[in-house]
Amino acid sequence: RPLSNADVITRREDLLAAYDYVVVGGGASGLTVANRLSEQPSITVLVIEAGDFDKNEDYVTIPGLAGGAIGTKYDWNTSYAPGDAIGGRVVPIPQGKVVGGSTKLNRMVFDRGSKSDYDGWETLGNEGWNWEGLLPYFKKNEHFTAATSEIEAEYAIKDDLQFRGDKGYMQTTYSPFFWPTTKNLIQATKELGIPVNDQASGNAVGGYFCTHNMDPVNYTRSSAREAYYASAAKRSNFHVLTGNQVTRILTSGANGTVKVTGVEFATSKDAARQTVKINNEAILAAGSLHTPQLLQVSGIGDAKLLESINVTTIVDLPAVGHNLHDHLNLVVVNVLNTTILTNTLSSNTTFAAEARQQYDTQRTGPLTSPTGDFLLFLPLSTYSNASSAISTQASSSNASLSLPPDTPADVAKGYATQYATLNAKLLSNASAFLEIIWADGVLVLGLQHPYSRGSVKAASASIFDAPTADSGFLRNPLDVALLREGVRFARTFVQAPSIASLNPFEVVPGLNATADADIDAFVRGSVSTLYHPAGSCKMGAKEEGGVVDAELRVYGVDGLRVVDASTMPILPASHTMTTVYAVAEKAADIIKASEGYRVKMEG
Ligand SMILES: Cc1cc2nc3c(=O)[nH]c(=O)nc-3n(C[C@H](O)[C@H](O)[C@H](O)COP(=O)(O)OP(=O)(O)OC[C@H]3O[C@@H](n4cnc5c(N)ncnc54)[C@H](O)[C@@H]3O)c2cc1C
């Protein structure tokens, strides 16, 4: 029977028996691909999402409260396994469990990495995956609106519109309110001779003004739901099933002729399993932790792991789950002594109430800014005098120091190529190693190109048991050295006249921590995540630990692709959402082209 116009499936009877494409996960990548595929009225698409729709709660929609959904029912509330190199600490790793995925939880930093980072993906063996190849998709994703005239005049922001899109679904713009000490930050950047660039241009090094994924009129979050779901919801060939977790990918055949036939799903561990058939492909978009887990519980992964969790191996693909890496976060705290207005939204209830009033009545003021309106992305030589010493240390030590002991040989081989790429970046001015996010004396340091790698392993045969995710944090001591230099630079930075005028006083780690050993202890005792897990289903050659090829097809299985953050071979120096969207936009065109549909490019 024909598809109904019921965009959200609430009754089992409304599901079709078979769909051309089933997308697993309705987050950043999943909704993007589902939207683009369903542009073709003859293609039927079902998205199965574990979470539900949010209810437009303030902590989801209001930019100034961004991140407020962490720890709520919209979060998987998972943690990385205890890390040996971080004192056995357990670091929480929030992930969105809601229509929109992590784009409902995130801090709304909307930026791209540098040309050299994306070109590196191609160097690692992925033809067409470079800056030139991704730029049209960065543009296709966004509908960019320039800063308000007040902000533009006050901060002299210059946008090169050839790098921006104006026809995409994702609303992007600058905050109409910058916290006043942002001026000190920008001025100090200049005092230290650090250039200010346009991050959208492929030159995302130095300082830059940062856009956010938000509506330029209402100043509310623009997530994958508002962008890619809302614009497709009325299509009768596009269905969304929420509150259901895909439990297994169903396949037929064996030994080189394995083909996807459908997926199995359920509302909870004990609920009855249901199935839906697939005519063309299953598209995995469950994120960097859950996509490898789903492959593994479906029999696609390392045969030894699968045996240990009582899963029959269908395709022995040892690389599944390996190469996991994430941006590390380390916070240096200075207390300021200044009369300039600083952010006291969480400590001063009167101020918070006034800001709320301003936001509700005029859509102006502090709550329109998710913070992070100006960011620094620094090459190693910009923030450290030790680049040649660190480079010597890197080239004289063994790449295997970065890897978990049970790393399969093909993964280690692929990592050796990455290691050489990272070593070259140490001495390059075209790639950033350190991000600095400033918030009134607090310097969040983000390590952009960690050497260390971890892994994701299904903990049991059930998708409902959280996977064991080893973040790999600081496994390789080079990462400690790179952050140690970051802490030292944070101290240099606050001595620049425009910051010094705010009378900063460092309280974390505290000025007594000067010796390498003391700073290293601080680093190991404090690092956490910047929420950018990636790489666990790496795109690359199979013999180099690739899980998917350059068309994002899983090796050894017909009709199965991965389109989410797990496919990134190596993280760019940037927050990840914008790159995930670009990858997914490109993936949609690859899939359409493989089916013989005409690919339409705009903007
Ligand atoms: C707290 C936080 C802050 C962040 N801040 C920023 C930021 O400011 N800027 C930035 O650029 N990036 C940020 N990120 C990262 C960015 O949001 C992610 O990189 C991006 O959303 C990843 O997209 P994805 O499609 O891979 O996964 P997601 O967007 O996480 O989507 C995966 C979806 O799959 C669903 N799913 C999982 N398993 C199953 C299953 N078995 N069956 C059905 N559905 C399933 C999940 O519920 C989820 O909805 C942040 C992330 C977090 C968590």
What is the model's pLDDT at position 597?
Answer: 73
Going by C-alpha positions, the residue among 281, 313, 246, 294 that lies closest to residue 536 is 294
ipTM over 0.95: yes
What is the model's pLDDT at position 254?
Answer: 86
Task: Tell me the average pLDDT of the chain.
Answer: 96
What is the model's pLDDT at position 392?
Answer: 97
Largest CA distance in the chain: 73
Among protein residues, the one whose CA lies closest to atom 20 of ligand 1? 577
Among protein residues, the one whose CA lies closest to atom 46 of ligand 1? 97
CA pair distance 86, 168, nearest whole angstrom: 41
Q: Residue 262 belongs to what H/E stretch?
A: strand 258-266
- The alpha carbon of 96 and the centre of ligand 1 are apart by a number of angstroms equal to 5
**Other residues' Cβ atoms within 10 Å of the Cβ of residue 374:** 22
CA pair distance 541, 528, nearest whole angstrom: 31
Taking residues 42-52, what's their average pLDDT?
97
Question: What percent of the chain stands above pLDDT 70?
Answer: 97
pLDDT at 291 over 70: yes
CA pair distance 45, 47, nearest whole angstrom: 7
Supply the Cα-derived Rg of the chain in whole angstroms: 23
What is the model's pLDDT at position 600?
Answer: 54
What is the model's pLDDT at position 148?
Answer: 98
Work out which ligand 1 atom sits closest to the CA atom of 101: 49
What is the model's pLDDT at position 7?
Answer: 54
Taking residues 168-175, what's their average pLDDT?
98
Q: What digits encode the pLDDT tens for the residues 182-202?
A: 999 999 999 999 999 999 999
Strands 45-48 and 18-24: parallel
Q: Are 566 and 534 in contact (CB under 8 A)?
A: yes
Among protein residues, the one whose CA lies closest to atom 50 of ligand 1? 106
pLDDT at 434 over 60: yes
What is the model's pLDDT at position 4?
Answer: 41
- The alpha carbon of 304 and the centre of ligand 1 are apart by a number of angstroms equal to 29
What is the model's pLDDT at position 11?
Answer: 62
Q: What confidence tier does 601 reach under pLDDT thresholds 50, 70, 90?
A: low
CB of 581 closer than 6 angstroms to any ligand 1 atom = no
pLDDT at 5 over 50: no
What is the model's pLDDT at position 585?
Answer: 98
Among protein residues, the one whose CA lies closest to atom 39 of ligand 1? 286
CA pair distance 417, 125, nearest whole angstrom: 10
Q: DSSP letter string over 131-154?
A: HHHHHHHHHHHEEE-PPPHHHHHH
Q: What confidence tier does 595 reach under pLDDT thresholds 50, 70, 90?
A: confident
First to last CA, the chain: 37
Q: What digits encode the pLDDT tens for the residues 306-336?
A: 999 999 999 999 999 999 999 999 999 999 9
- The alpha carbon of 264 and the centre of ligand 1 are apart by a number of angstroms equal to 22
Secondary-structure percent of the chain, ordered helix, strand, coil, rounded to 5: 35, 20, 45
Question: What percent of the chain stands above pLDDT 90?
Answer: 96
Helices (H), 114-247: 115-123, 131-141, 149-155, 181-191, 224
- The alpha carbon of 75 and the centre of ligand 1 are apart by a number of angstroms equal to 10
Q: Is 45 helix (H, G, I), strand (E, B) or coil?
A: strand
Angle at 567 between CA 564 and CA 571, to 5 degrees: 100
Q: What digits encode the pLDDT tens for the residues 223-280?
A: 999 999 999 999 999 999 999 999 999 999 987 899 999 999 999 999 999 999 999 9
pLDDT at 602 over 60: no
**Other residues' Cβ atoms within 10 Å of the Cβ of residue 464:** 14
What does the block give as tokens for 103? 């784009």
CA pair distance 372, 212, nearest whole angstrom: 9
What is the model's pLDDT at position 14?
Answer: 83
CB of 184 closer than 6 angstroms to any ligand 1 atom = no
What does the block give as tokens for 449? 């190109």
Q: What confidence tier does 598 reach under pLDDT thresholds 50, 70, 90?
A: low
Work out which ligand 1 atom sits closest to the CA atom of 98: 49
Q: What digits encode the pLDDT tens for the residues 442-475?
A: 999 999 999 999 999 999 999 999 999 999 999 9
